[in-house]
Amino acid sequence: MSIRPHGGVLVNRFFSSPVDRDKNIAVASSLPRIKVDAYASFDIDGIAKGIFSPLKGFMNEEQTLRVLDSMELEPGIPWTIPILLSVSEEQAKALETGTDVAIEDDRGVLVAILHLASKFRLDKKHLAEKVYRTTEEAHPGVAYTYGLGDVFLAGDIDVLQDREVEFQDYNLTPAQTRAAFDARKWRRIVAFQTRNPIHRAHEYLTKCALEMCDGLLIHPLMGTTKSDDIPGDVRMRCYQVLLEKYYPQEHVMLSIMPVNMRYAGPREAIMHAIIRKNYGCTHFIVGRDHAGVGNYYGSYDAHYIFDEVDPVALGITPIFFDHTFYSKRTGEMASKKTCPGTAEDHVMLSGTKVREMLGRGEAPPAEFTRPEVAKVLIDWALGATNA
């Protein structure tokens, strides 16, 4: 039996039939309309597919403040990051509560109908401080927050169509991953969150976690990310070549998660766990500096925050990993928990160092990454350099 979704019910906000959808597309075309960016469009898609269960729409002021101050959506339901829809002051004046509003996405497509229940304002600095633990605009999440409109719209949404992305064949909904797990007779499923190619340290910790579970879900984030992150198509090629050669096919599955990267560190680690619970996973890997950026979070703050959440209410088991590396002394991947020796025995490379090597056409050492993955990255880096 699959793990229960967060809040007890897996949400589906798509219209139930093509006839209903077509009828409501016609209705939406005559409604007041707002246009949203890619970030909000991915949030709409996440609500529709049940990725953000139990949310049925965008959060109101009471829910938002509870999440910010108590890390609960409502009593007994942990939640750490508000899912919000903002508009400008001028746009808000033209919208009446109790009416319906059409939402056009960043591609110019009518994607949803918002049943506008309320409008409210927020102190954006308070929002930034609570979610990101900083008010500095150098933080990408804070910068995005400060650029939001001044009025927030709350209400349930009905969604006209899903958002197709690159590698759509891997874009399984929570309902579909749950069905896939059941078909494989997996009962203990561990999810691995990533927005980067998987290097040897990642491979080590995913396989350690798999030893205690039936299946592993490699679940890369494919919503909006920072401009200097490695492109999604490059990352997918890395995942594909790695899984083909170095993982047991009967115990691993690759699917993408179409959710924005918020770089919210500890709070985002909790959200990533909740999301994977909705996808049907029972365990979730939390590594060093999970969802971090720059120096805004301590290396293991994303571990410590789980102590602040009721584990029963959270409903998914986190698996914590220390910093991992290749040990020259033992000749294998290890961590400080499992390996004797000093730092001189450990092979570790920073992301900056790896990018420098790739830019020169040099493969990172085999102790850091598999050669097949290195080739994909070198080809991309040289192509980007010569473009």
pLDDT in tens, 319-335: 999 988 888 888 899 88
Output the pLDDT for position 205: 93
Confidence at residue 128, expressed as pLDDT on a 0 to 100 scale: 98
Residue ranges, the chain, pLDDT below 70: 1, 225-228, 350-352, 384-387
Please say if 171 is a catalytic residue. Answer: no
Strand-strand pairing, 33-35 and 100-104: parallel
Catalytic hit among 178, 195, 200, 262? 195
Domains in the chain, please, with CATH?
18-159 (3.10.400.10), 168-386 (3.40.50.620)
Phi, psi for residue 4 in degrees, rounded to 5 = -70, 145
Looking up tokens 């030893």, which residue turns up? 211
Amino acid at 122: L
Residue 278 among the catalytic residues: no
pLDDT recorded at residue 1: 59
DSSP string, 192-249: EEESS---HHHHHHHHHHHTTSSEEEEEEB-S---TTSPPHHHHHHHHHHHHHHHS-G
DSSP string across 161-185: S----TTGGG---HHHHHHHHHHTT
187, 188, 196, 355: the catalytic one is 196
Distance CA 279, CA 257 (A): 10
* pTM of the full structure: 0.94
- pLDDT score of 228: 67
The alpha-helical segments, DSSP class H, found in the chain are 18-28, 38-49, 61-70, 89-93, 124-132, 140-146, 174-183, 200-210, 232-246, 265-278, 301-304, 311-314, 351-359, 371-386
Spatial CA neighbour of 322 closest among 358, 346, 351, 296: 346
CA–CA distances in Å: residue 207 to residues 248, 321, 362 = 10, 12, 27
